[in-house]
Chain A
Amino acid sequence: MTDNVKQQSPIQIVWRNKKARIGIVILTLFVLMALFGPLLAPYSVTNTSFAPAQGPTAAHWLGTTQSGQDVFTQLLYGARVSMFVGFVSGGIVILVALVVGFVAGYFGGMVDDILSLVMNIMLVLPGLPLMILIAAYIPHHGIGEIIFVMSLTGWAFGGRTLRAQMLTLSRQDYVLSARFAGENPFRIIFREILPNMLSYIIANFFGAVTGAVLAEAGLEFLGLGNPSITSWGTMIYWAQNGDALLNGQWAWIIAPGLCIALLASSMTLINFGIDTVANPRLQED
């Protein structure tokens, strides 16, 4: 009767997954880049004194912008904003999703019906167009506003999965047992249920971050963001306003896009691993 299969810690399971390992390595690199970018950057990000619109050279690995900034420096700084926006929006999205998912999943009944309906509606409202619509009306576009728009349009997906998960878990006998042990609802949620859905939360978090990073880039590209910050999205915005392609400055456009793609896919890859925690069937042989 003993459960003979020795359990591995979730982290081991994730790390054992080859794809997840690649993802973790890439993500770590980007986190380091965001943290230490300014130290690594060859120049100051506000320095506009270089010969403008140059292709890659030894001094400027990725060339310079049309207004004479070093593209590589911008790329390093851009990691900060892009990841900040991504992770903060992702965090807020997950927080909102958790609260809504919990309230809906734990209390059930009418509350659940209403919240589920709201989530389903939010889900079918197309995200980017809604973001554009809101961004088009918002008078100011600071980072805060971008994060707000992102969170507002992004929470429903996480909310729905977390609600479902919450629903499943709160029907588990051990939750009922905890009630028999005299635990209060608060503790039941945080001590009994939450730890068991951690992998879902993290997977959803990464999903939300990926979405936010891509959406931020999209908004910035459309000029609906804040072009005076340096993020990978604004880099592409400026690159295309500065006709980078026309000038043959492909590095100016390719580099930030590649970073976005790598960052986003690193999280997708990590999620391969995290999926296997919740669903052993997906584990690699």
Chain B
Amino acid sequence: GCGQSSNNSAGSTAASNSPGGTVSSTPAKSSLTIGVDNGSPTFQDNFNPFAPGNRIGTSYIYEPLFFVNNINGKVTPWLGTNYTWQNNKTLVVTVRSGVQWNDGKPFSAADVAFTFNYLKKYPALDSQGLWQVLSSVTASGNKVTFKFKNPNVPTFYSIASTVIVPKHIWSTITDPTKQMMPNPVGTGPYMVGNFTPEQYTLKKNPTYWQADKVNVQTLVFPVLGNNQTAALKLSSGQWDWATLFLPNVQKTFVSKDPQYNKYWFPAGGVVSLALNLTKAPFNDVQFRQALAYGINKQEIAKQAEDGYVNVASQTGLILPGQSKWLDPSIPNKGVYSYNLQKAKQMLAQAGYKTNSSGQLLDKSGKPISFSIEVPNGWSDWIQTAQIIQSNLKQLGISVNVATPQYGAYSSSLSTGQFEGALMGFGGQASPFQAYNSLVNSQFALPVGQSTSQNQERFKDPSVDQVLANWQQSTNQATQQKDAYQVEQAVFNQVPVIALFYGATWSEFSTKKFTGWPSASDPYAPPAPYGQPPLMIFTHLQPRS
């Protein structure tokens, strides 16, 4: 018998409402309606943490060893209470005691070791590629020991965020990706309540290890619908928490209930223009720098992103969250401010001429033109590309905006068969991860071979060297020094042209609960997906 009470609460919502039913704008006091799970387009009853296409609610049920705040890199003990590097190839994590799985069975270090070894057994589950680095994971007592093939300190973040599954359930599952999991067993604050393809609820786990901190009894996840209707629903106050791009959020959301309706859109990654560095003239640093000056990032941030985001630092760091990593010697926090004149000058200096009709010519005398690929339907990116198109026209470069389906976009990027493309990177807890995947030449495979990282195919042995150093070091100061060097390289050599910080969209209502993360208290990104909710739900307090 599961969750009769929460079913009722959801049920009463419907009964008390207008005949439409979906208009569940005023759910019971202790519940929150969250507009985040989109379905495809309806829900399937799967809370398997390893399966693609599982429910967003899955991450409210399974927990990681540590909570890593990607905004500032702060690590909070979760199922693990503490970790130590015995040397740069051995990590020991102490596991929390007194935690129960929500089926009543006790949680232990054995579950942790089982989880990691399970990923080894089923490589399809190892989406972070942990076992390319790890050599063994063993449990003894309340400690779990991770041994590495090579020193790779930043892998800690991947280990920290891996969710732990119960051995007593999963040891019998032999095809984990295909396992439907309607009643998942996890350690997290919530368990599955009521489920229909259009809406499901999560109810509070009464035996949760920090149950006293969790005040929201029920979570309701209605199907999002398309962007259009989702925005209308959010605007009309049907949801308490959502993650949508809303134009003119002040007017369309906040003003509908100014006392309670809040939003916070912190930066979550860098959106950049990637140019294929294996091709001329993109392989010319000066050309790239000129372009960086010639693109009006300010206008993009304002027009394409409604001014919700900031222009990105060319260092690739996400500021201000990662400002402690920023090399103070880099001017203007690493932003190439828009300067058409300077761009033209630089191009001329580098030997690019224009013809009589104002077209910029490459070294062989052909007019320069290239296309920028943007995934179909990513409308803000398409707009970004359109602005770049008109910016570069000023330089005499003709740009064609191509909008292939995501698959085609992604495959031309990974095989290096593109000219220009918009690309996101970064947003992880440690800048190392961002830099490694952006510029490590190990990933810069020849054109035609598929790679998921360094798709612009940047190669610089000195940068590789620094990255290797950084990877091996457990020392904060060394890491800082290495970071400065990489920053300088990325800033000067412009492997990709950073445009703006992709935002984490988050709108919420403080009508029923307060204590949401904010710019002044960024204890977690405000996202209702991934691991932040675990943190957020221990902070929310009922409004008195």
Contact = CB atoms under 8 A, between A and B. Distances in A.
A and B touch in the complex (CB under 8 A): yes
Interface of A: 46, 48, 52-53, 66-68, 136-137, 139-141, 223-224, 226-228, 237-238, 240-243, 245-247
Given A238-B379, A246-B231, A246-B232, A66 B247 contact: yes
Q: List the 4 shortest-distance A-B pairs measured between CB atoms, nearest first.
A: A241-B379, A223-B377, A139-B408, A228-B401
B383 interface: yes
B228 interface: yes
Contacts, number: 70
A225 B195 CA distance: 37
B303 interface: yes
Given A67-B303, A139-B404, A228-B401, A247 B251 contact: yes
A243 B379 contact: no
Interface of B: 227-228, 231-232, 235, 246-248, 251-252, 299, 303-304, 306, 376-377, 379, 382-383, 385-387, 389-390, 401-405, 408, 412
Contact of B303 (A48, A223, A224, A227): A48
Contacts of B227: 240-241, 243
B35 to A, nearest CB: 14
A143 to B, nearest CB: 12
A66 B304 CA distance: 9
A252 to B, nearest CB: 12
A139 B412 CA distance: 10
Nearest to B382: A227
A52 B402 CA distance: 25
Contact of B247 (A46, A139, A243): A243
A240 B401 contact: no
Contact of B376 (A46, A66, A223, A246): A223
Contacts of B390: 46, 48
Secondary structure of the A side of the interface? Answer: loop
A185 B404 CA distance: 46
Nearest to B389: A228
B247 A247 contact: yes
24 contacts: A48-B299, A48-B387, A48-B390, A52-B303, A66-B247, A67-B304, A68-B303, A139-B402, A139-B404, A139-B412, A140-B402, A141-B402, A227-B379, A228-B382, A228-B385, A228-B386, A228-B401, A228-B403, A237-B379, A238-B379, A243-B228, A243-B246, A246-B252, A247-B252
Nearest to A242: B247
B403 A246 contact: no
Given A141-B403, A223-B376, A227-B382, A245 B232 contact: yes
Chain B, interface SS category: helix
Nearest to A137: B405
A138 to B, nearest CB: 8
A67 B382 CA distance: 12
Contact of A247 (B248, B385, B402, B404): B248
A247 B306 CA distance: 13
Nearest to A67: B303
B228 A141 contact: no
Contacts of A240: 227-228
A243 B232 CA distance: 8
B513 to A, nearest CB: 25
A239 to B, nearest CB: 10
Given A67-B383, A139-B408, A246 B306 contact: no
A20 to B, nearest CB: 37
A242 B403 CA distance: 18
Contacts of B246: 243, 246
A140 B404 contact: yes
Contacts of B382: 227-228
B499 to A, nearest CB: 15
B387 to A, nearest CB: 8
Nearest to B412: A139
Contacts of A243: 227-228, 231, 246-247, 252
Contacts of A223: 376-377, 379, 403
Given A141-B376, A228-B386, A243-B252, 7 more contacts: A137-B405, A139-B412, A141-B403, A223-B403, A243-B227, A243-B228, A245-B228
B137 to A, nearest CB: 42
Q: Which of A46, A227, A240 has the most CB of B within 10 A?
A: A227
A48 B384 CA distance: 12
A136 B306 contact: no
Residue in B377, B383, B408 with the greatest tally of chain A CB atoms within 10 Å: B383
A267 to B, nearest CB: 29
A136 B404 CA distance: 9
Contacts of A226: 403
B382 to A, nearest CB: 5
B403 A53 contact: no
A35 to B, nearest CB: 25
A223 B226 CA distance: 13
A70 to B, nearest CB: 14
Nearest to A225: B403
Contacts of A247: 247-248, 251-252
A224 B376 contact: yes
B142 to A, nearest CB: 51
A46 B227 CA distance: 26
Contacts of B403: 141, 223, 226-228
A136 B228 contact: no
Nearest to B236: A246
